[in-house]
Amino acid sequence: MNMKQLEEKNKNYFSPENKKFFNDINYRVLQSEKSKTSYLIQHTYQWSDMFGNEKKAIYVVKPVTNKGDILESVAEFKELSEVKNFLKNK
């Protein structure tokens, strides 16, 4: 599954309104090396600046089914390189 296919199957999820509301920066789809499972990588601030806290971006890893369903988060990382290392072993 690539990003374009995922966006077509989940139009509301990737709407400009949702992106702004959830404080998302961008999205990408990466595939695990072992299982070939696709994952949505959501780069987001995830309300980190609430209650006067410093704004901090994270990468949220969510599995994607073959039908294009986005599942619950399985991991969060500070750096994209950490995401890629995580997916090597999945």
For residue range 46-90, list pLDDT tens digits in order: 765 667 778 899 999 999 999 999 999 999 999 999 999 999 988
In the sheet that holds 75-77, the strands lie side by side as: 24-31, 38-44, 58-64, 75-77
Please, are residues 48 and 29 in contact by the beta-carbon 8 Å criterion? no
Query: What is the separation of C-alpha 52 from the centre of its chain, rounded to a whole number of angstroms?
Result: 25
pLDDT at 52: 73
Looking at the chain, the whole-number percentage of residues with pLDDT higher than 70 is: 94
Q: Residue 64: which of 34, 29, 90, 16 has the closest Cα?
A: 29
Most distant pair of Cα atoms in the chain: their distance? 41
